[in-house]
Structure 1
């Protein structure tokens, strides 16, 4: 980031330091343009996120408040839903607004304890120093990759004379070297940063156990091992005109059916999910780590009646998801 700022400052100085016209303007404009191209991107709200407000979903926001208090996390500035079997927490923009997104198929399918565990895990990312969310560390995941892409050589001088062809070849060779050096540095930084990112996932799992209890938190991690079955069940029930109540029943049936396979799925996740460049540790290892820690009782309880009220608040969003599934064929 300091190098990008230096590019902008020196480039600006070259533009204004000498009377115009002056050849110094050319490298000055080039340096400012390069600084703009390499500027850090701090993200923005997903345009597909359906933002909720407290008046629209008071029960959901009340549950989020309780879980945030239990794990010692700040409240999100934006809460929304989308149609993915996923959930995420992040920070966007220079103001570092905290965003919590709940994927409706996952949220609607989870039992009460699983929902508390999901909130505890995602809100936990606001307090566990995840490098993907830091003001100074988040650009590591974008800036040098953008720089390597910018310097990637592209053949532009076809059919020219010998001198032009030689100049083009030398220019592309220089670009290739710079691009590869930047990309290698990018890979090194990302590999280092993702070690802390995986550590943040373990800490978030621990906070999920603090909020929902170890039993519910480990069961939630097991559910993440069968998301393909969950997706098929949600689509089947949705096309049949059923809502979250049937999604939960279908998930419970799938868990019973695949109970004997869960130990194998945990081992398989370790084999397939272990990587230097994975943002998340293997789910099987996460579950083993959480189960090996001191056992925790739930600090936030979600009753069935309250869960139904929360689903009623999200009725319009569930209907929109149902239409999307039906239209997708």
Structure 2
């Protein structure tokens, strides 16, 4: 059970008792003094050095709060063309031109004066251009693609949410066994894909499912630079180039000249690798700030479809995703399916009501990062409750939900068996 008991320490700013749920570094729940503190034992390392991770956390926390303060109470908008996105797109164009130049030079060296010694560098450049080529993504092989005939209720609900929000509908809808859901675009034709992880989907109540669909379909219209075709090279190519150039220790020991040559190559390639890594990190940080804005907008679209109350409940469930996973695993091993998952998840959330405010605040500390694609869950919920309250545009009845689950009974049973054996 999660505990969240006040500590004996008083806040030096306002005098309120500080709290320390889950053995976290204490902070003040009233004025949020010390909420920005870095917990090395509870934080995932980013760079691997505590001193650097601490500074990165503080910078990420400060940028996250500044963005929240800038957006709260104002229209978020789906411009998709902010300064950061334009800069990333420009970098992508330059990188694509560089990869094309590698390919052209490789072809020229390979076919010029064939056969000759230029074949080796030509083939090397061609191989490098192939590795760094643009990728358009593909369907996950584990995704079980559904058809409208197979799941008419689900497809009808997705269409209804898309119509209510005036967003494009997915062209592919599938399910898998992960405790997650996602929407994206794949292939050169940019086919829109919606994936629903059945353990997660089956654990949610009717309106929370509408909220989840509203959020995921919002990704087709919220201007997230991570999902744009033109920004992909900048967010991927520099990182791959850094990995390719990173020197590897072979353990081979040769003569003095060989060692000197290897040292020069290590210094040169290592420097290039670090430069590419730094440029990749800078572009990623720019893109992720804009991605967080897009996530706030997806939450707002979710609230417009399902109602603010349902979307805030969905976010509270997100805070307790580990507890939801345990509930599903326990029920699955007992032979129970989505109906029991849903009931026990709702009961678990109700029992955690008193602890949720502190967990929301703790998420602001622990989910703030330079490399986070989503804002902290607590800030996402706070953003929603600060805006106009929405009544649901799409209402999913319990009877319709049960028909929807019945359509997927075979898939649910397969996933339940997999979970029970895990």
TM-score range, shorter chain: over 0.9
Q: Which residue of 2 aligns with 1:134?
A: 228
Q: Determine helix, strand or coil for the equivalent of 2:123.
A: helix
**Counterparts of 1:138 and 1:310 in 2: how far apart (Å)?**
36
2:187 aligned residue (93, 114, 136)? 93
Deviation sequence 1:193-248 (CA, Å, 0-9, x none): 10111111001001001110111111111111111111111111111111111111
Aligned-partner Cα distance in 2 for 1:140–1:21: 36
Aligned to 1:71: 165
Matches within 5 A, 1:182-201: 182-201=276-295
What residue ranges of structure 1 are gaps of 5+ in the alignment? none
How large is the Cα RMSD of the aligned pairs?
A: 1.3
Q: In the alignment, is residue 24 of structure 1 matched against residue 101 of structure 2?
A: no
Alignment equivalent of 2:267, drawn from 173, 176, 193: 173
Query: Greater share of helix residues, 1 or 2?
Result: 1
Is the aligned partner of 1:319 residue 2:413?
yes
The CA deviation at 1:71 is: 1.4
Aligned partners of 2:223, 2:364: CA distance in 1, in Å? 24
Q: CA deviation at 1:157?
A: 7.1
Q: Does 1:106 align with 2:200?
A: yes
Alpha-carbon separation, structure 2, partners of 1:248 and 1:66: 23
Question: 1:81 aligns to what SS in structure 2?
Answer: strand
Note the C-alpha offset of 1:156: 3.8
CA positional deviation for 1:255: 1.4
- 1:11 corresponding residue in structure 2: 106
Residue 42 in structure 1 maps to residue 136 in structure 2: yes
- SS of match in other structure, 1:159: coil
Residues 89-138 of structure 1: per-residue CA shift (max 9 Å, x gap)? 11122221111111111111111110000000001000111111111112
After TM superposition, the score normalised by the length of structure 2 is 0.75
TM-score (norm 1): 0.96
1:256 maps to 2:350: yes
Distance 2:258 2:251 in 1: 7
**What is the number of residues matched between the two proteins?**
327
Separation in structure 1 between the aligned mates of residue 129 and residue 375 of structure 2, nearest angstrom: 35
Is the 2:332–2:417 Cα contact (8 Å) retained in structure 1?
no
